[in-house]
Amino acid sequence: MVKSSDVVLILVAIIFPPAAAAFITGCSCDLLINICLTILGYFPGHLHAFWLIYKRMQAEERYGHGGFIYVGNGTYEPLYNQPHTAPTTYGAMNAA
């Protein structure tokens, strides 16, 4: 599902692709790649920015809003691998 933040990212990517890449990935190798692609030709920079937006939208659908972290190369991992549960011995008394 496309959210308003995704629409804003798409508009920013249309105007200036490296800004959209910076919003998504921060200061990373993907930002440098997008800057180089935009310098080489405006269209390749657009494609890369749209690809990054698409991968982010996939991660939001898979892990939920804010439940993922960007690890590079268009890859996202869940923030929490397993749900937090209390230890099994919590509140138990040792009866020997």
Mean per-residue pLDDT, 40-49:
93
| % pLDDT > 90, the chain | 46
User: What are the residue ranges spanned by the domains of the chain?
Assistant: 4-78
Q: What is the DSSP string of 22-67?
A: HHHH-SSHHHHHHHHHHHH-HHHHHHHHHHHHHHHHHHHHHH-TT-
Predicted confidence at residue 24, as pLDDT, reads 92
Predicted confidence at residue 94, as pLDDT, reads 60
Whether the predicted model's global pTM rises above the 0.85 cut: no
Predicted confidence at residue 52, as pLDDT, reads 94
Bigger pLDDT: 42 or 92?
Answer: 42
Per residue in 47-70, pLDDT (tens digit) is: 999 999 999 998 888 888 888 888
Structure tokens of 15? 């105007």
